[in-house]
Chain A
């Protein structure tokens, strides 16, 4: 049973380009979460999705950032017109429906560098 798969592992973008980060949850997991972590800082919640629904996007910047989790395929975190401050590690996690004593399983992250 593969874990949470994120790709790419490393992504370099020039300022103004778009970044697309992908996350495939563990098999059987219906909840997906995106977090951002700046160097030497803690995890910052961005968005919580179930299939075709955004449950909580309270941590998403209002502009340039969007996320989706379509019926088929991986969850996508999209950052338009990237700026240097977007450089960070972006972690995706997933969890199953119902089991409240089951925490999250994280992917290995995508390290975005904006040059």
Chain B
């Protein structure tokens, strides 16, 4: 089993749609969780951290279920500019080991 697994997609949705991405991780002791966004031929950029209580940033909502080892990202009212690859990221270790484990990403295309 991979350490971080995501549905690779691609997801193709019309503008204005709501889309959800799911991610599972294998290490139950994992400490921190993130969603990153990567545009074609660009560097990944942090979209949001994921907190145990769930968190929202505008049209984006992230949820964490530690019992199921499951993370989700919900995008409401999709825009053309949301087209990108969304990467689920997990930090399995506490302390000074800051190595992140990356999913392979889910590709999203938002169509007019």
Q: Which residue of B lies closest to A106 (CB)?
A: B43
Which chain B residues lie closer than 8 Å to A108 at the CB level? 42-43
Sorting the interface of chain B by its residue count into under 10, 10 to 19, 20 to 34 or 35 or more gives: 20 to 34
Q: How far is the CA of A33 from the CA of B44 in the complex (A)?
A: 13
For A, the interface residue count at a CB cutoff of 8 angstroms equals 22
- B31→A42 contact, CB < 8 A: no
- A106→B99 contact, CB < 8 A: no
Q: How far is the CA of A100 from the CA of B31 in the complex (A)?
A: 8
> A43-B102, A48-B99 are contacts. A103–B43 as well, Cβ < 8 Å?
no
User: Interface readout for B14-55 with A: 1 if CB under 8 Å, 0 if not?
Assistant: 000000000000000001101010000111111001000000
Picked from B31, B34, B103, the residue with its CB within 8 Å of the CB of A103 is B34
Q: How many A-B residue pairs have CB under 8 A?
A: 52
Q: How far is the CA of A104 from the CA of B90 in the complex (A)?
A: 11
> A89-B41, A106-B45 are contacts. A101–B102 as well, Cβ < 8 Å?
no
In whole Å, how far is A97's beta carbon from the nearest beta carbon of chain B?
7
Beta-carbon contacts under 8 Å, A81-115 to B: 89, 91, 95, 97-98, 100-101, 103-109
- Interface membership of B97, Cβ < 8 A: yes
Q: Is the interface of B mostly helix, strand, loop or mixed?
A: loop
User: Interface readout for A37-68 with B: 1 if CB under 8 Å, 0 if not?
Assistant: 00000110100100000011000000000000
- B43→A101 contact, CB < 8 A: no
- Interface membership of A31, Cβ < 8 A: yes
Which chain B residues lie closer than 8 Å to A97 at the CB level? 96, 98
In whole Å, how far is A43's beta carbon from the nearest beta carbon of chain B?
5
- B43→A42 contact, CB < 8 A: no
Which chain B residues lie closer than 8 Å to A43 at the CB level? 44, 87, 102
In whole Å, how far is B96's beta carbon from the nearest beta carbon of chain A?
7
- Interface membership of B94, Cβ < 8 A: yes
3 closest pairs, A vs B, by CB?
Answer: A106-B43, A42-B104, A103-B34
